A and B are shown apart, each in its own frame.
Chain A
Amino acid sequence: MATVFMKWLETQPEQYDRGIRLLTLGKLQDLQEQLVELLVRPGMRVLEIGCGTGALTTAMAAKGANVVGIDLEAGMLTQAENRVAASGLDESVDLKHMDAALIAERFEPASFDLIVSSLAFSEMARDAQAYVLTACLSLLAPGGQLAVLDEVSPPGRAARFAVAAVHFPLRIITWLLTRATTHPLRDFQTTLERAGYRARVVDSHLLGSLCLYLAKPRPEDAARRLPDSFKGRLRHRVNLRTMLIDLWAVFFRIIPPYPKVEPGLYSVGEPNPDSPVLVTGNFDLTIRRLVKAIDTRLDVWLLVVDSSGINVWCAAGGGFLTAERIIGALRTSRLDEVVKHHALILPQLCANGVDGWAIREQTKWGVHWGPVRAVDLPAYFQAGRKKTDDMRHVRFPLLDRLEMVAATMGFYGLMILIPVALIWPSSFWPLLSALFGLSLFYAITLPWLPGRDGLAKSLPLSLFALAGMLLYSWRVDSTASPDIFNRFIGLTGLSVFVGAELQGMSPRMRGEQANWGWEAIVAVVLGLAYWLVPILLGWR
C-alpha cells in the first residue's frame, strides 16, 4: 500500500510536460519557439542537455538540425523516443541516456555548433552546473553558442516575492497533479560568466522568472578557473534544526519530500590526499548518522552523490542511485585533484543498483564494498578494510522495529486516521489504538512469529483471536455475539493489513509487493463481511 502510493508519486514522466506547461503558464513553449527561430539553422550540430520528453528536440530537428539529446531519466527518454519516432525525425535525432557531467568525455571536442538546455541546469547541484558549463566550452566548435532556458529566481525582492506568491499555489497544484516541479536558478548570469562565457538574457517571462540566456565563450578565457568543488567539513552536531528533522523523520520518513544534503565532496575529520574516500547518498538522515558514527574517529573524504534524498538501499533499488550518477559525481567533485589514490568505498547496500564493474571499467577508480552499518566503519578500517560476516549482514533489531512502528503510524496517520477523524470521528480513537497496538505487537514478536512473510506472520494472530471471540460469544455471552463478531471481523482485517504492511518495513523480507495481492483479497473479503453481514442478518 505504502509503496504503491510512493511509486505513484515518484514515476510519472508522462505527466511532466503537462505539469511544466501548467507551472510556466505556457510561456516555456513560447521561449522554446523563440530559441528555435533565433538560433537553429539547417545542418547545425546541436547538443541538448536534458532533452526530457523531447519537445524542444523535435522542434529543432524539424528545422533541419542534427540533434543529440541526453537525459538522465530513462522514463523521459522513452517519451522522447516515442515523440521523435512519431514525427519521423529518427534520422536527425540521437537520444542518449547520460549524465550531463560526462559530456566532455563522451563527445569529441569542438563537435557542436549549438548547445541548448531547457530546465536542466536548475536540476543540477551548483558544482555540476559549473562543471557542465566548463565541459560545454570544450564541446563548442568555433563560433558556437550556448542557450540556456530555465527558471530563475528574479532579481529584486519585490519581484521575488510576487513570483513566490503567484507560484506557491500553482506549485502545489502542479505537484499534486503531476509530481513535477522546478528549482529556480540563482544568479545564473554570474555562474555563466565565472565559467568563462559572455552571457546575456535574450528574453524573459513571468516577471523575469523564466529566462532565455545566450552565452558565447569568452575568447580570452583560455585558463579556466576551477570551481570550488569542496563543500566543507561535516561535524556531528545536535541543534534545533537536526532535532526537528529527526522528529519529522521518526514519523514521516517514508513520505516525500525527503530532507536532503547538497551533493558534492565533503570531509569528516581532517583527511589528507591519502585518506579513504567514502561514497553515500544525499538523504539527510543517512549523512548525519554516518557523520555521528565516524566523527572524531576517522579522517575521510565523503563524496555525497545525489540519490534524490533517498537512502542508499532504496535509491539503488529504485534506480535513483546508479553507477552513472556516481561517475558523474566523481567528475563534478574533481575528486582526482584532491586525493592521490583511486579507491572508492561504497555502501554495501547500494550493490543492488550500482554496477561496480561499470565504475571500475569507465573510470580508473576501484570499488570496495564497505560495511552495511556506518558504526562498523572504524572497525572495518582497523581490520585493513576487511568485513566480518556480521558487518555484511542486515539485521532488524528491536530498536529498528520500534522505529518502523513510528514510521508506519505516521503513514497511517496521514492516509487513514486523518480522513477517518474527519468523516467518522467516533471511530478515530478505537482505530488509532487498534493500529498502534497491532503494529507494536508485530514489531515486538516479529522474530518469533512463524512464517517468512508479513501475511503468514499475521494469520496466526487473526485466527487465534477469531477462535477466541467465537468461543466467547458461544460459551459465555451469546447475546453479545452479533456486535462483537462484527467488530472482530474488522479487527481481523486490520491485523492482516498491519501484518502485511510490516513486509515493506522489514529489510529481511522480499519487499511488500510479495504479498500485496493476497493482502488486498483478504482485506476486501473481511471488509465486505464487516459491512454486509450485519445488514443481511438484520443486526443494525
Chain B
Amino acid sequence: MTESPSMIGLLKEHLDLALNLRALQIHFYPERCNGTWQCYEVCPVGCWRPDYEKRIVAFEHGELCIACGACVLQCPQDAIELKVPDD
C-alpha cells in the first residue's frame, strides 16, 4: 500500500514548487538555434524576437517570462531550458 497524499503533504509539495517556480529561468543556447521560430510563435508574453536575416531568435524580454514552458516544449533543437540556476 502506498501512502495516500494528505492535505499537509500536498501543501508542502506546493511550497517546494513555489520556491522553485520563483527561481525558474530560461536558459537559451543560441548556437543550437536553427530558426524554426516555434518559441516566437507560441510565447504568450513576447519574450522572443526573431532575427530573420540570421535565422535565429534572441531572448530579448526575459523580465516578461511567466515560466509557462511553451517555448521549451516546442523547440525542436532543445535550445531552450527552463531551470533553477545551479549556483
Complex Cα distance A100/B19, Å? 37
Interface string of A483-519 (1 = CB under 8 A from B): 0000000000000000000000001111101111100
Q: Is the CB of B44 within 8 A of A514?
A: no
Given A352-B73, A510-B21, A510-B66, A4-B14 contact (CB < 8 Å): yes
Given A15-B4, A510-B21, A517-B19, A4-B46 contact (CB < 8 Å): no
Residues in A with CB closer than 8 Å to B10 are 4, 7-8
Residues in B with CB closer than 8 Å to A4 are 10-11, 14
Q: Is the CB of B44 within 8 A of A393?
A: yes
Q: Is the CB of B43 within 8 A of A513?
A: no
- The number of residues on chain A lying at the interface, defined by a beta carbon within 8 Å of a beta carbon of chain B, is 37
Q: Is the CB of B45 within 8 A of A393?
A: yes
Residues in B with CB closer than 8 Å to A355 are 73-74
A-B contact pairs, 15 of them (CB 8 A): A4-B14, A7-B14, A12-B4, A348-B41, A348-B42, A351-B73, A352-B42, A352-B70, A353-B73, A392-B44, A394-B44, A510-B24, A511-B66, A513-B18, A517-B15
Complex Cα distance A508/B38, Å? 20
Complex Cα distance A7/B9, Å? 12
Q: Tell me the minimal C-beta distance from A279 to chain B in angstroms.
A: 14
Complex Cα distance A159/B5, Å? 38
Given A8-B10, A12-B5, A351-B42, A513-B70 contact (CB < 8 Å): no
Q: Does A477 contact B (CB under 8 A)?
A: no
Complex Cα distance A515/B38, Å? 30
Q: Does A389 contact B (CB under 8 A)?
A: yes
Residues in B with CB closer than 8 Å to A352 are 42, 68-70, 73
Given A348-B42, A348-B44, A510-B67, A515-B74 contact (CB < 8 Å): no
Closest 6 CB pairs of A and B: A351-B42, A351-B70, A352-B70, A394-B44, A513-B18, A14-B4
Complex Cα distance A393/B7, Å? 36
Complex Cα distance A168/B20, Å? 42
Interface string of B35-55 (1 = CB under 8 A from A): 000100111111000000000
Q: Is the CB of A317 within 8 A of B2?
A: no
Q: Is the CB of B66 within 8 A of A508?
A: yes
Complex Cα distance A372/B42, Å? 9
